[in-house]
Amino acid sequence: MKNNYTSKWVLQRITAIFLVPLTFWFVYQCVSFQEFQFQQMKSFFESYVNSFLFLSMMITMLVHAKLGCETIVIDYVNSLNLQKILKSLINITTILTLFLVVGAIFKLNIMQ
Amino acid sequence: MITNRPLSPHLSIHKKILTSVFSIFHRITGIGLSVGSVLIAIWVSLIALGPKFFFIFELLASSLIFKSILFLWTLGIFYHLFNGTRYLLWTYGLGMDLKTVYNSGYLILFLTLVATFFIWLI
Residues in chain B, how many?
Answer: 122
Residue A1: band (very low, low, confident or very high) from pLDDT cuts 50, 70, 90:
very low
Q: In the 8-state DSSP scheme, what is residue B6?
A: P
Residues of A numbered 11-50 whose beta carbons fall under 8 angstroms of chain B's beta carbons: which are they?
A: 13, 16-17, 19-20, 23-24, 27, 30-31, 38, 41-42, 45
Q: Is B95 left (phi over 0), alpha (psi -120 to 50) or beta?
A: left
Pick one of 3.30.310, 1.20.1300, 1.10.10, 1.20.1070 as the CATH number of B35-121: 1.20.1300
User: Cis link prior to B9 (omega < 30° from 0)?
Assistant: yes
Domain that holds residue A42: 5-109
Over residues B6-30, the pLDDT tens digits come to: 666 566 777 778 888 899 999 999 9
Distance CA B34, CA B16 (A): 25
What is the rounded average pLDDT of the residues B93-102? 93
- pLDDT range class, residue A112, cuts 50, 70, 90: low
Cα(A89)–Cα(B15) distance, integer angstroms: 32
- Residue numbers in A near B90 (CB within 8 A): none
pLDDT tens-digit map of A10-47: 999 999 999 999 999 999 999 888 888 889 999 999 99
Q: State the DSSP code for B13.
A: T
ipTM above 0.95, yes or no: no
CATH code for position A83:
1.20.1300.10
pLDDT at res. B51: 92
Total domains in chain A come to: 1
Q: How many Å apart are CA B118 and CA B112, to the nearest integer?
A: 10
d(CA A8, CA A48): 31
Inter-chain CB proximity A75 and B8 less than 8 Å: yes
Give the percent of chain A with pLDDT over 70.
96
Query: Which of A38, A58, A80 has the CB atom closest to B37's CB atom?
Result: A58
